[in-house]
Amino acid sequence: MKIKNAALLLIIASIIWLIDLLYFTFERFTGDSAKYYKDKPVELVMSTLLLVMPITFLIFSIAVYNKKPVRNISGPVDDNYKSDVLSLDLPNMTVGNWIGIFFVSIIPLVGFIFLIIWALDKENPIRKNWAIASLIFMIFQVLILCGLFLLIYTGNSNYGY
C-alpha cells in the first residue's frame, strides 16, 4: 500500500472516530447523563479528553498525505559540501529506540517529565527537536481542550435548574 493511500485511509478512519466521539461527548453534556456528569467533573473531563487521539491521528495523517516526495538531484556537488555533511556526527535512532521513546512519552506524568528532560538534552539533537515539538503540540492540545471544556461546561451550567 502506498503511503498516500494509507494516509487517506487514516484520514477517513480518524474522521469517523472523531464524529463518533463528538456525538457521545455531546450526549454527555446534553442527554440524561448530564446530571450524572455534573456531580463528577473529573469523569467529565477524562471522557472529553478522549477526543485527543482522533484529532492527533487526523493531524498526523494530513501531514503525511501532504508530504512532498524528496527528489534526487543529480549533478556535481561541491566537495566542501560533501565533507560538511559527512562530518556531522548525529546519533542514529533505531526503530527500537523510537518505540521506547513513544511508549515512555505516552505515560501520563512520566512522559511529560521525560519530554522536558529530552527537550533539554544536548547530546541527541534529533530527540531534542522531537521532544520540543511534542511539548508544543501537547500544550496546544491542552489549550484547545480546556477551551472546549469551558465553552461546553459554561453553556450548560444552568441545566436542570
* pLDDT(12) > 80: yes
Name the packing angle between helices 125-155 and 95-105 (round to 10°).
30
Q: Quote the pLDDT of residue 1.
A: 56
Q: Give me the residue spans of the domains in the chain.
A: 1-68, 94-161
Name the packing angle between helices 125-155 and 52-65 (round to 10°).
130
- For the stretch 49-93, pLDDT in tens is 777 877 887 787 787 777 766 555 555 555 555 554 445 566 678
Residue holding cell 448530564? 34
- For the stretch 104-161, pLDDT in tens is 888 888 888 888 888 998 888 888 999 999 999 989 988 998 888 888 777 665 555 5
The structure's pTM equals 0.44
Q: Which three cell numbers stand for residue 95?
A: 526503530
